[in-house]
Structure formats: structure tokens, C-alpha cells
A = this chain, B = another copy of it.
Amino acid sequence: MRVDAPTRLDAALTAMAEAIDGQFDQLLAVPQDQRARLYEAMRHSAIGGGKRLRPLLVKASCDLFNIGWESAVRTGLAVECIHVYSLIHDDLPAMDDDDMRRGKPTVHRAFDEATAILAGDCLHDLAFSILVDERTHPDPFARCELVRALALSSGPAGMAGGQMMDLAAQASPYDLPTVTRMQQLKTGALVDFCMEAGAILARVPEERRVGLRGYARDLGLAFQIADDLLDVEGDAAVTGKAVGKDAAAGKATFVSLMGVDQARAQAQLLVDQAKDHLHGFGSEADLLRDVADFAIRRSH
């Protein structure tokens, strides 16, 4: 019996979302003291929102190397902590100044700015706590490698560096190579980590990670182009956040630089390339192939 790809992906996303919500619910039990508000803010942002695509990517990369469900979920949870912390901080008035996220008020709107800053900081710590726990992997060397890779992906040479470039873009719009570089840091670096996670957990040597890196790079850009298309053509009620913000801020995007048609064609090309990078794998890479197709499907 053949299961069609969208159904298979939906089932995997649903299972991962339930697992991530369950883990956050346990980890973020609200204490009965003056820190309750801080935990409430973390729960507001971390539980019950988001597609959990990054944890699913971790799971998909774990599938390639026979890494089990618990390691995949815990590593995916750590990535999601970083992702959620970055959303909280990026939404702040001093940054992108957003009021809505995932269909709910942003943390600084639902609580206040100070609580939002601290809630982000605490999720940032939580990510690394999760990775060094032996339930993530019995081998401490692999745990150290996960920490090293995640800190690199989220810091100034990764996500935070990309956000800095994005803020600087308000001064003068970027050209296509610079937008590409910015997005590779801002959103691509965490995707890179997700794909590398399975290889780290399986202690796969560097030379066998080349295809995964190619897939991650192409997928990350395809997702970003699709995001830019959604920002132009999307509906705030569907995306759960404000749309048209980049154009309003005078920022260059893939769509403003290439036009809608070429951006759409480029995204398709990147998805095809991403799947080509998986040619050495069999059915164990099917989830990764589904995710690649999904990257552009959601913007059609």
C-alpha cells in the first residue's frame, strides 16, 4: 500500500509537534514563586505553535543513520529552543517590532519587554542543557559536538550574525549575493545544524557529510525564497504573522531582486538540487525528499 508524500509528511510533522509540546510542557513546569511569569512567557512562545520543521529535519537526518526517536526528539527540541528564543528577541520593538507570531500576540505584547528578553535568554540556556543530557546521546563526545555545532549556528557566525546583517540592510538595500549570504546565516545556519545533527549523533566522518551539507544549503535558500513569496502574496491570517513588512521597510528580498516568477523558478531549481544531493541514499531519505517538496508547496 502506497502512502502519498504529503500525508506521510503531515503525519511526521504531527507526531513531532506532539513530542515537542510534551517535552516543553514537562521542562517548563511553572514554579510557585516570583519567577512564574518568566515560565509563563516561555510556555506562551514555546508550546502549541509552529510547524516544528527544524525538529523534523533533525529526525529526518537521524533516519539516514539509524539514530533513534529519543535522540532525535531531544536534539530537535534543542534546535527549537534556539529558534523560539530568536523569534522572541527578533520580535522585540528594538528589532523587527512585531505584534503577532504564530497567530498569537508576541511575548513582549502578551507580557512585557523585560520578560521577553529574559524568556529568550532562558530558552537559549535550555537548548544547551538539553544537548548535554545523557538521554540525548550516551557518548559525551557526541554531546560536546552537538553543543559546538549549535552554538556556532546560532552565534555571530550564524543566526545572530544574519539578524545583524538584516538590521544593517535598513541603511542600504543589499544586492543578490549579499541577501543570499544574509539568509544563509540568518535561517540557513540552523538548517545546516539540523542536517548535521544526525551525522554527529552517528559519529559519521566529515567526508560523508558533503551531500547533507549540499541538501541543507539548497533547502535553506528554497525555504527563504518561499518565505519571501509568502511575505508578498501571503495572508496574515494563514501565516500567523504580519506580511509585506520587508517591502514596507525598503529591504531587498529574493522576490524584490528577482521578481515573483524568477523567484518561484529558482526555488524549484533549489528543491531539485537539494534532492539530487540525496542520490546516495535510498528510502531512508524519503522524509528529506518530502520536506524539500514541502518547502515550495506551501507557497503555491
Contacts and interface: CB of A to CB of B under 8 A. Distances in A.
Copies of the polypeptide in the assembly: 2
A34 B34 CA distance: 40
A2 interface: no
A112 B167 CA distance: 11
B115 A164 contact: yes
B164 A38 contact: yes
B118 A160 contact: yes
A155 interface: yes
A276 interface: no
29 contacts: A34-B164, A37-B164, A38-B161, A85-B121, A89-B117, A89-B118, A94-B113, A94-B114, A94-B117, A114-B167, A117-B117, A118-B164, A120-B121, A121-B121, A121-B124, A121-B160, A122-B155, A125-B160, A126-B151, A128-B128, A128-B147, A129-B151, A129-B155, A131-B147, A132-B145, A132-B148, A140-B140, A144-B144, A144-B147
A42 B156 contact: yes
Nearest to A145: B132
B168 A144 contact: no
Contact of A168 (B37, B133, B155, B160): B37
Contacts of A143: 140, 144
A108 to B, nearest CB: 8
B160 A122 contact: yes
Most chain B beta carbons < 10 A, residue from A35, A124, A128, A131: A128
A120 B86 CA distance: 12
A165 B34 contact: yes
A132 B117 contact: no
